[in-house]
Amino acid sequence: MSRTAFFISDGTGITAESLGRSLLAQFENVELRMLTKPYIDTLDKARTLVDIITGAAARDGEEPIIIDTIVDESIREVIRSAPGFKIDIFSTFLKPLEKELGTHSSYTVGRTHSIGQDEVYMDRIHSVHFALDNDDGARTHQYNQADVILIGVSRCGKTPTSLYLALQFGIRAANYPLTEDDLDEDGSLKLPRALAQHRHKLFGLTIDPRRLAAIRHERRPNSRYSSLDQCVQEVEQAEGLYRQMHIPYIDTTRFSIEEISTRMIAETGLTRRFSPR
């Protein structure tokens, strides 16, 4: 029987879900059904949610885990009436912080993920637009504006990593696919002309060929593109190029996008324009 975990917020629910998933990920042997419930910002919504939580408890035969970032005290009081093991993130941390800082919290709903400073918000938007405009080698003439250029074979994670870097850190990331068009006469990969002058910005991604073949098979089943032999050849050529040109790279096979991005930032020393939210 699985147990249900609720991440509850009167805002987006991003903070409750992020922290909750991080905590629960430490318990690999426990089967959990995780549900995020954002914008529980009225008493009626809270009462309806209590009914849902009560139903989950009856179905599972175990009390749910309830992790919330509810600010409004009256709504929190309703949530407290639900059966479950409760972790109230704000009351757990805000009270000690108020005591330490000698002042009261503003208890403002949605403070973490609001637009806040317009410059930061617009920088985030511009970075995302840059990643989209410079996806898959689309506009190499803009590489002088890039903070980093991700390179690698098709379907190794370049696009999602570029977008994550933009959205979470404001890093202007372009990406360029290494293809057979970049092969030298001897069959080895050469550094494309568009990348040569930006060599100091390059960061490589690689992936286990078997995993790459499985990903490509979903897109083009039973094709040369998705064959294991083709994937092995492309990955070996890409890694050979990285070593030859002393381009730093990371194997994306077992890492999440978050891990790929933060490891890359740590290794390259890239400057974040803002902290993740």
- Are 203 and 255 in contact by the 8 Å Cβ rule? The answer is no
Flag whether 188 is marked binding. Answer: no
**pTM of the predicted structure, to 2 decimals:** 0.71
The CA–CA distances, whole Å, from 139 to 136, 154, 155, 201 equal 9, 17, 19, 16
Give the sheet arrangement for strand 32-37, strand by strand: 32-37, 3-8, 65-68, 85-88
pLDDT per residue as tens digits for the range 54-100: 999 999 999 999 999 998 889 999 999 999 999 988 778 877 888 89
pLDDT band at 213 (very low <50, low <70, confident <90, very high): very high
Query: Residue 26 has what pLDDT?
Result: 92
Q: Is 154 assigned a ligand-binding role in the annotation?
A: yes
pLDDT tens-digit map of 219-264: 999 999 999 999 999 999 999 999 999 999 999 999 999 999 999 9
**Is 156 annotated as belonging to a binding site?**
yes
So what's the pLDDT on residue 277?
A: 55
pLDDT > 60? residue 114? no
The Cα–Cα gap between 232 and 118 comes to 46
Contact criterion met (CB below 8 Å) for 11 and 110: yes
Contact assessment for residue 16 and residue 7, using Cβ atoms and an 8 Å cutoff: yes
157 is in an annotated binding site: yes
Q: Is residue 65 within 8 Å of residue 32, measured between CB atoms?
A: yes
Check whether 50 is labelled as a binding-site residue: no
Angle, vertex CA 189, rays to CA 249 and CA 127, nearest 5:
45
Token duo for residue 83:
């059966």
pLDDT tops 80 at residue 18: yes
Asked if residue 158 belongs to a known ligand binding site, the reply is yes
Residues pairing with 202 in the sheet = 149
- 3-state DSSP assignment of residue 101: helix
pLDDT in tens, 32-41: 999 999 999 9
Residue 37 annotated as part of some ligand binding site: no
- Structure tokens that stand for 177 in this block: 């696919």
CB proximity list for 72: less than 8 A, separation 6 or greater: 10, 41, 109
Residue 239: which of 227, 229, 251, 228 has the closest Cα?
251
**Alpha-carbon gap, residue 61 to 141, rounded angstroms:** 60
Q: Hey, what amino acid is at 165?
A: L
| Calpha distance 179→256 (Å, rounded) | 24
Q: Are 174 and 130 in contact (CB under 8 A)?
A: yes
Average pLDDT for the chain: 91
Of residues 82 and 117, the one with the higher pLDDT is 82
